[in-house]
Chains A and B, each alone.
Chain A
Amino acid sequence: MNLKSITFRNLLRRKGKAAFVLAGLVIGVSTVVGIISFVEAMTNDINHKLEKYGANILIVPKTENLTLTYGGLSLGGVSFEMEEIREAELARVSSIKNARNIAALGPLVLGVVKVDSHKVLMAGVDFEVSEILKPWWKIQGALPDHNGLILGAETARILNLKVGDRVNIKHKELIVSGVLQPTGSQDDQLVFANLATAQSIFNKSGRVSMAEVAALCKDCPIDEMVKQISEVIPGGKVMAIQQVVKGRMETLEHFKKFSYGISGVILLIGSMVVLVTMMGSVRERTDEIGIFRAIGFRKRHIMKIVFLEAGIVSGLAGIIGYFMGLGSSKIAITFFSENHSGQVPLNFELAIGAFGIALLVGLLSSAYPAFMASRLDPNDALRAL
């Protein structure tokens, strides 16, 4: 018989009350854990996409011109008098220190061509790497051979062309081998041709307007690679594309703040539940506490009984809440992210954190009830009966 056994016996007797406190804390903790692991999983998801899909480094000629934009990304001065990068120079990219992190290098030559009476921006690209650089492309038809074309959705609509149609550009007969489904980017307004074909149309053989690089960068910083590429291409300006992802990150950041606010409120409610319930049970146990005091328990013994009780329940709530939060974020992830594997990592720090927060909330909100209990005067407590 010691203070611990008194606490356990009391908890077993008041299972309902204990369950109520437990539920209040579990809801609070699981919400917080759910939100945090959801945000974490979403962040991982975005990082993963950033690393795995699409171009994330651009190489453009150094220029004195004003900047134009392409697909919402800033480019060097793409204009009629634009400067160019030599293909030979570009080849050096494969010699940088982090070369193994380069998934694809896609040179691009840009120029304006006339189709019927319409002026169209034509991009000569290497279709072999388009799958890596433009994973969002959905092509109706097929990737072209050396004299085929891919049309952006808008281009196809305005020029009234479809797969199989023939187009005459600068005395060359080209065949439309595929039409892109709308991408929402400027790709919709372009005509894509083979790099060599476009170079010969524009009279720019051996030269490109820019190049896109897809770097698989889980463990290397993109900035580091940008620096390395800059060193091997002195005539080029190298930059990392982050805007798109940054936008999503910002949204996530807002969501984070919002949900942390909500978690705070829920934890506060949880602690109110603990406070009110513990206060009630202290009041209910007035006579008991009076006896404890009368037979020589010190104030701190009484406090220890209350805190032990709160600690056991809230520690348990931390553990249960952690797993429930993990489960609910798993479910949420499958709703919010289509191609996410639904994996929410078991996070040791978060588990410890959940346990700690539950304990902290449980103990803090029991501090007042414990104090009140310890202050009970044995004489008054026993007289009240």
Chain B
Amino acid sequence: MSYIVAEELIKQYGKGHATVTAVAGISFHINEGDFIGIMGESGAGKSTLLGMMGAMNAPTSGRLVVDDIDVYRLGQEQRADFRREFLGFIFQSFHLIPYLSVIENVMLPLAVVKASKKQKWAMAEEALDQVGLLDKARRLPGQISGGESERVAIARSIVNEPPVLLADEPTGNLDTKTTKEIMELLRQLNKEGMTIVMVTHSPDCAKYAQRIMKVSDGKLVGDN
């Protein structure tokens, strides 16, 4: 059974003459444990699509069902809960909180979760260990490199072990060597059972995906 189902997703920004149709009717099914790559030119609507899949950007019309939950029929607060429980996000520009240490950044999604301090630390340490950054747990984001920041962002997105990971050009800001390391990491996570949807420009990165969805002008133009 399909884990993620998108039905005729449409997203328009603005009103009247200024209306921009970023996503013009996209449907697909994604199975549990898939590693999906989304490709397409700049402005094609990839980020918008990912935002809709991330329960952050309500579609103008259409339906998104994840694990049998009709996401946009949830209330706003329930959608926040859904994000916390089902999704991990990796943003292009890391988006780490500058005044929190590396491990605190990783723990961030747990801040609103009922668990003991000890438990939270253990979970954060495990996630940091997975990305190989346990030794830099006490540093501030300003004191680590770009590749390391990306790893922290990944650790943060997997700390509460969500079933789905969404990544928007996770390696856009990284050199080839670091990119490869990050991609290996994502592959590892996928092997462990995580469903991954990744937007990327780079054909090298796309090779790691089992399935590529090509988006152009808000439409799905290729899927294999």
A-side interface residues toward B, CB under 8 Å? 1-3, 5-6, 9-10, 12-13, 287-288, 290-301, 377-379, 382-383, 385
Contact = CB atoms under 8 A, between A and B. Distances in A.
Interface stretch (B28-36, B92-100, B199-207): B92-100
Contacts, number: 80
B3 to A, nearest CB: 19
* Shortest beta-carbon contacts, A-B, top 9: A296-B84, A1-B107, A13-B99, A296-B83, A379-B57, A295-B109, A379-B56, A298-B80, A298-B77
A91 to B, nearest CB: 81
Contacts of B81: 296, 298
Q: How would you classify the secondary structure of chain A's contact residues: helix, strand, loop or mixed?
A: helix
Given A291-B95, A294-B56, A385-B93, A2 B80 contact: no
A383 B92 CA distance: 11
Contacts of B77: 298-300
B80 A299 contact: yes
Q: How would you classify the secondary structure of chain B's contact residues: helix, strand, loop or mixed?
A: helix
Nearest to B48: A379
Contacts of A383: 47
Contact of A297 (B56, B100, B104, B111): B111
A296 B95 contact: no
Interface in B88-122: 89, 91, 93, 95, 97-100, 104, 107-112, 117, 120
A372 to B, nearest CB: 15
A85 to B, nearest CB: 83
Contact of A291 (B97, B104, B120, B124): B97
B141 interface: no
B100 A287 contact: no
Contact of A294 (B89, B93, B97, B99): B89
B112 A301 contact: yes
Contact of B83 (A2, A6, A295, A299): A295
Interface centre among B56, B117, B120, B157 (most CB of A within 10 A): B56
